[in-house]
Amino acid sequence: MTDSPAPTSEHGAPARAGIDRNLALELVRATEAAALAASRHLGRGDKEIVDQAAVDAMRPVLNTISMRGVVVIGEGEKDEAPMLYNGEDVGDGTGPEVDFAVDPVDGTTLTAKSLPNALAIVAVSERGTMFDPGPCVYMEKIAVAADLADVVDLNDPIETTLAHIAKARGVPVPELTVCILDRPRHEADLVRRVREAGSRIKFLLDGDVAGAIMAATPDTNVDLMVGIGGTPEGVLAACALKCMGGAFYGRLYPRNDDERRLALDAGYDLDKVLTLDDMVRSDNVFVAATGVTDGELLRGVRFSPDRATTHSLSMRSLSGAVRLIETRHRISTSNLVPR
């Protein structure tokens, strides 16, 4: 009896047990649905309805996909956020068991105010491989491209980090561009020191997943993303950078003594610098993202009389495939486009 050949991925790499197809291509339909629904509320000033519309559009599409997913990174506990909550089951109940991370709109305020860089994003990895931040809502972060993985250190002062990146890139420090979330917590120290070093700053108005992806993308003119941001966004960014070949370093950042105590009681090491492999331990990670508003990464949704056009990213770490997808939806016949 002859052994059958081992299954392979779309690019000929060995397929992982349980996930033998590119889920990212299927997940794009879910992020498209979320982006299409959210964009209907562009500029109307209500971020809650933006989020609700995206979730209501995304959930039914997710539940048609052959996977047994559990939301590890969602929108809070069930009683606090009855929308794609932590612990919720997603998928049609068949297929591989997976961890699921989601932000129906990373940038609800951006969408509500018609500002750039809002996107819908989901990530999937093998069950039990995605980092659960527990009670910690925030973390310190640095995200860079793969060529800078061994150059940056989260424990270094920002001036040292900029000097090392400048040397590695062969440019002076003033030629570097740093992405920082525009928040008061950064203004007095981080922003001041980056400016004193002479580097440019690209402020992120809301949501830092796009900033991390920009830092790992050569043609965005962003050299690093740094600062304190949400842990859910950190996990999503790490999944994306694992697919793209970037580097991510993070450390949990409790907001107060109660959160610190809860984290320590749960066994979290608050001094540990988390690497990409700590954030997502699988080498078979899938990410899909669709632009809601225009940004450096993706164009936002475009509407014409009977057409809506979306721009998306589809990524898989095992194959290294990163696809840019433009989809033209016929409004009169599509079940994804809200009317």
How far is it, in rounded angstroms, from Cα 180 to Cα 228? 9
Other C-beta atoms closer than 10 Å to the C-beta of 157 total 11
The dihedral through the CA atoms of 290, 291, 295, 301 has a sign that is positive
Residue 77: pLDDT band with limits 50, 70, 90 = low
End-to-end CA distance of the chain: 57
Instruction: Report the pLDDT averaged over residues 219-228.
Output: 94
Tokens of 295: 């940004």
Beta bridge partners of 226: 142
Q: What is the mean pLDDT of residues 264-268?
A: 96
Classify strands 286-291 and 177-181 as parallel, antiparallel or unpaired: unpaired
Q: For 264-272, what is the mean pLDDT? A: 97
pLDDT at 307 over 90: yes
Name the helix (H) or strand (E) containing 85. Answer: none
Confidence of residue 184 (pLDDT cuts 50, 70, 90): very high
Q: Name the helix (H) or strand (E) containing 231.
A: helix 231-244
Average model confidence (pLDDT) across the chain? 90
Are 126 and 284 in contact, with CB atoms under 8 Å apart?
yes
pTM: 0.89
Q: Report whether pLDDT(306) > 60.
A: yes
Q: Is the pLDDT of residue 36 over 70?
A: yes
Task: For 101-157, write each residue's pLDDT tens digit.
Answer: 999 999 999 999 999 999 999 999 999 999 999 999 999 999 999 999 999 999 999
Helix H or strand E encompassing 9: none
Q: What are phi and psi of 22, to 5 degrees?
A: -85, 95
| Average of per-residue pLDDT across 35-58 | 95
CA distance 286 to 126: 10
Give the residue from 141, 99, 145, 144 showing the smallest Cα distance to 122: 99
- Give the pLDDT confidence score for residue 339 in this predicted structure: 62
**Out of 10-19, 85-94, 265-274, 308-317, least confident range:** 10-19
Taking residues 6-25, what's their average pLDDT?
A: 56
The type of residue at 71 is V
Residue 24 banded pLDDT, cuts 50, 70, 90: confident
pLDDT at 219: 83
What residue type is 334 in one-letter code? Answer: S
